[in-house]
Structure 1
Amino acid sequence: FDDSFSALDFRTDAALRKALKNEIKGSTVIIVAQRISTIMDAEKILIIDEGRIVGKGTHEELLKTCEVYREIAFSQLSMEELA
């Protein structure tokens, strides 16, 4: 979703994400993303660095346990968004 959503204004982005969340409810979805905001609500996130899985968990778990994820999150999101 990163590239296709990158040109959207905040309101349109939020409305589209909400609609998609309802559409995919109960489905298994694999998302490849560079933006933390795209995957923050995922049930399971895999972090790949230099071809290796270096972290696995929810957004909250990865903030506590995965340095790579934490660095990316802090570079992309405000403190309010991280909470």
Structure 2
Amino acid sequence: ILHQDISTNNIMWRRTVSSHPRGVLNDSDLSSFREDTGTSSVQCTGTLPYMAYEFFDDDENGHPRKHLYRHDLESIFYVILLLCC
């Protein structure tokens, strides 16, 4: 499953008395299965500061880029970068 909108607003942490912190990724209204063909939207969607750099430009045919797992990984990198600064 590709989330397609990973940001600090979509990550929640919970700590119980008897366990370590646990995280959950919420707001999955833009998510899709990896096997889906094409894009789910004509417009680029997501939270701007955490979007993969590749989405700021269309592909060589002028079409929106297909969301790949590496784009979610890039968004996670930006979240971690922000938390470390």
TM-score range, shorter chain: under 0.3
How does the TM-score come out when normalised to structure 1? Answer: 0.27
Greater share of residues in helix = 1
How does the TM-score come out when normalised to structure 2? Answer: 0.27
Larger relative contact order (CA 8 Å, sep ≥ 6): 2
Bigger Rg, structure 1 or 2: 2
